[in-house]
Amino acid sequence: MKKTIYFSDEALAAVAPDERGIEGLSGRVGFLLTVASAIEKEACPALLKNEWLALADANNGTAVEYSFGFEHPITGVTLNLADAAPDLDEKWQVSCVDLARRIRAMPLAQQFAVFEVVRRFWRTPSEGVTGWEAFLARVGAKVEGGQ
């Protein structure tokens, strides 16, 4: 598939394209994306089903803004969660503030994994999936005591 994409200066520096032209840019970007996906899958923390659902609920309808740097959307997931307390505390029987603190204390790879699961939760069709556990598994969540 052929797509045109634009990189910020920061993103292009992170890609570190081969100035001599020996490596292809598409191959380099594909490699980095594949590695990021593998790291995300490996680093995904196991959370309780209701913790994942509270995270998703707190971020329902939120827009992701990538232009402020990678920290902004990742931190936004936990800020939205903390802001949703106490309403979602009661609904999902979790402490949203405590969960947000736990996630913020995690290594960056785990925070990135949480962000990606929540992002996919709202961008993945649920047709043909029965039950929250199956849907959470479809979007890459590791459920404590579950899949």
Longest dimension (CA), the chain: 58
Three-state SS sequence of 73-102: HHHHHHHHHHHHCCHHHHHHCCCHHHHHHH
Q: How many domains does the chain have?
A: 2
Q: Decide if 131 is inside a domain.
A: yes
81: tokens are: 């969660």
- Residues 69-78: pLDDT tens digits? 788 889 999 9
Average pLDDT (102-120) is: 96
Are residues 38 and 54 located together in one domain of the fold? no
Are residues 24 and 53 located together in one domain of the fold? no
Range of the domain at 133: 46-143
Measured between alpha carbons, how far is residue 86 from residues 61, 64, 91 in Å? 19, 23, 9
Are residues 51 and 26 located together in one domain of the fold? no
Q: Decide if 1 is inside a domain.
A: no
CA atoms within 13 A on the CB side of 115: 25
Average pLDDT, the chain: 92
Are residues 31 and 52 located together in one domain of the fold? no
Q: Is the per-residue pLDDT at 22 higher than 70? A: yes
Average pLDDT (87-97) is: 96
Q: Is the per-residue pLDDT at 110 higher than 90? A: yes
Q: Is the per-residue pLDDT at 127 higher than 80? A: yes
Q: What is the pLDDT of residue 147?
A: 41
- Whose CA is closest to 77, among 34, 130, 25, 117? 117
Are residues 53 and 93 located together in one domain of the fold? yes
More reliable by pLDDT, 107 or 66:
107
Q: Decide if 4 is inside a domain.
A: no
Most confident of 40-54, 68-82, 116-130: 40-54
